[in-house]
Amino acid sequence: MLRNTETNWGAVARAFHWGTGALIIGMFAYGLWMSEFPAREDRAYHYAIHASIGISLLALMVARLIWRALNPTPTPPAGSAKWEITAARLGHIGLYALVFATLVVGWFLAGSGRRTLDYWLFGIVPMPNMLGTESPYHKPLEEAHALLAYAMIALVVVHVAAAIWHARVKRDGVLARMTRGSSA
């Protein structure tokens, strides 16, 4: 089934979940790697790739949000405590907010440094350089982008821990709904 139901996530929602999750973790790892290696001639190339993937992820997140708005959200499992439901909702809102904030700040950050960035989406589509080279906002944006990314990854870790708790302790089918599409 492609669409969500009142009890399960559909194939499209699951693909969005796992695809964006993999991209977020990959982008975080790539960001750490590229910001830690010594400055050299191809550093701008890696920043351009990181920016291209980030803009693509932003578009994917917008599509994901639209899909989520057009589909029902499965109800919590029977017997879920009110605090669990509230924590899950706040956690998901926090994940969406941090992902969007990290991506938008990254877009403003891209191309705002000392060097001109090849600001094309994978070398094909020109992208607007939001602030221009040598922006006075570069350093604060760089720090904000890093802090948002770390906060986002921290919440991803909590999200994964909650999924494992549902699977191993509660055994309520929450993780199965996101992997198989059915808690049965």
Whether 2 is covered by a domain: the verdict is no
Say which residue, 112 or 63, is predicted with more confidence: 63
Whether 36 is covered by a domain: the verdict is yes
Backbone dihedral region for residue 171 (phi beyond 0: left; psi -120 to 50: alpha; all else: beta): left
Task: Write down the pTM of the prediction.
Answer: 0.92
Whether 144 is covered by a domain: the verdict is yes
CA distance 63 to 54: 14
Q: How many domains does the chain have?
A: 1
Whether 142 is covered by a domain: the verdict is yes
pLDDT tens-place string over residues 47-60:
889 999 999 999 99
Judged against a pLDDT cut of 90, whether residue 128 lies above it is answered with: no
pLDDT tens-place string over residues 61-107:
999 999 999 999 999 998 999 999 999 999 999 999 999 999 999 99
pLDDT category of residue 38 using cuts at 50, 70 and 90: confident
- The CATH number that applies at residue 132 is 1.20.950
Whether 133 is covered by a domain: the verdict is yes
Whether 1 is covered by a domain: the verdict is no
- Residues spanned by the domain of 45: 11-179
pLDDT tens-place string over residues 134-157:
899 999 999 999 999 999 999 999
Across 159-172, average pLDDT:
95
How confident is the model at residue 24, as a pLDDT?
Answer: 98
Question: In terms of residues, how long is the chain?
Answer: 184
Whether 70 is covered by a domain: the verdict is yes
Whether 6 is covered by a domain: the verdict is no
